[in-house]
Amino acid sequence: MSGPDYGRAFGMWRQAAGADWTAYVDHAFVRQLAGGSLPRASFLHYLRQDYVFLLHFTRCWALVAAKSDRMPEIRAALAIAHGLIHEEMPLHETICAREGIPVTMLASTPESAANMAYTRYVQASGYGGDVLELLAALAPCVLGYGQIGLTHAGSGGPYGEWTATYGGEAYQGLCHQVGALIDEALDARLGPDWPDLPRAATLSQRFADATRLEAAFWQMGLDLA
CB of 137 to a second copy, least distance (A): 10
Pick the closer one to a second copy by CB: 43 or 53.
53
DSSP 16-51: HHTHHHHHHHT-HHHHHHHHT-S-HHHHHHHHHHHH
Taking the complex as a whole, the smallest distance from the CB of residue 176 to a second copy amounts, in Å, to: 22
Alpha helices of 38-155 — where are they, by DSSP H? Answer: 40-67, 71-83, 89-98, 103-107, 113-128, 131-152
- Tally of CB atoms within 10 A around 76: 21
Which of 25, 1, 12 is closest to 166 using CA atoms?
25
In the bound state with a second copy, the residue whose beta carbon lies nearer, of 58 and 151, is 58
Nearer to a second copy, 145 or 194 (CB): 194
Q: Which is nearer to a second copy, 125 or 151 (CB)?
A: 125
Q: Are 67 and 130 in contact (CB under 8 A)?
A: yes
Residue 16 CA to residue 201 CA, distance in Å, equals: 10
CB of 154 to a second copy, least distance (A): 33
Looking at the Cβ atoms of 31 and 187, the one nearer to a second copy is: 187
Nearest to 33 by CA among 180, 198, 164: 164
| Amino acid at position 66, single letter | A
Give the Cα separation of 187 and 169 in Å (integer): 27
Q: Which residues contribute to the site for a second copy (CB under 8 A)? A: 55, 58-60, 62-63, 65-69, 71, 74-75, 77-78, 81-82, 85, 107, 111, 113, 116-117, 119-121, 123-125, 127-130, 133, 187-191, 196-199, 202, 209, 212-213, 216
Q: How far is the CB of 109 from a second copy (least distance, A)?
A: 13
Which residue lies nearer to a second copy by CB, 183 or 209?
209
